[in-house]
Amino acid sequence: MSTTYEEVLSAVTGEGYASEADVARQRPQNPEDEAAGYTIDELASASQIPSRTIRFYQSKGVLQPPEKRGRVAFYADEHLERLELIGKLQDRGLQISAIRTLLKRIDAGEVDLGSWLGLEAQLSASWAEDQPRTLTKDELLRFAGADRTGLIGDLLRLDVVARTGDVYLVRSPALLQIAMRLEAAGVDLDTAVGSSNILRKHLGRAAKEAATLFLAQAEKGHVQTPEDGDWRRLFDELRPTAIDAVRV
């Protein structure tokens, strides 16, 4: 008789097959008891991850073993949280081997989980220091370096700035300055803004891919871990280098 994939994983993870009666006997009578836990199927339903994948994660050492009560394996909320974390790390491009190494270091207290999770917003952010600014009309014209008729109207139409009372919100000062330099060189403002947005979109994607590669290489030991464990600070120091590389 052939052995199924699930049976092999069951042997590796130490999780046997149990009947509904087995589960009922081992589950606490009080359904609100924290020790009740999840069966493999209940965990799969709660996490929206197939039970086969959950067993695979266990076999690879990225998901801690369940608690055995008789023939029944029960999972806790910690397993649900770990599955969510595994998904986030996979979304960042980390392979299972890199995730296993990272989780071991987190569990050992060598890496701060908050520092790693805090990178999510940073990976999606621009690598240039480009924050919205609020300017008066005169300040906006000075910042743009031009005072032609209809300029502010064009900037409002192209959604480069937004007016609130007597002030203007410049959504991206860097975009505005690039667009104005292109206009000064003879490119109409519509084309200048459109082309700048295209460049920012693709450069932003490239920056995120480069950051994901950097993290993966760090987990392989090819990048020295910061002494204070603050990866976000390291990325702040890396940004100017990335911007210079774009200029080359």
**pLDDT tens column, 42-99:** 999 999 999 999 999 999 999 999 998 888 899 999 999 999 999 988 887 778 888 8
Same domain, yes or no, for 137 and 228?
yes
In a domain, 124, yes or no: no
> Which residues form the domain of 140?
133-247
Contact 160, 171 (CB under 8 A): yes
List 136's β-bridge partners, or say none.
Answer: 167
Q: What is the CATH number of the domain that holds 50?
A: 1.10.1660.10
Is residue 227 very low, low, confident or very high in pLDDT (cuts 50, 70, 90)? low
Same domain, yes or no, for 145 and 223?
yes
State how far the Cα of 38 lies from the Cα of 75, in Å rounded to an integer: 5
Same domain, yes or no, for 20 and 71?
yes
Residues of 203-236 as b/e, b for ≥16 C-beta within 10 angstroms? beeebbeebbebbbebbeeeeeeeeeeebeebbe
Give the best-scoring range by mean pLDDT among 78-82, 146-150, 203-207: 78-82
Domain count, the chain: 2
State how far the Cα of 66 lies from the Cα of 51, in Å rounded to an integer: 13
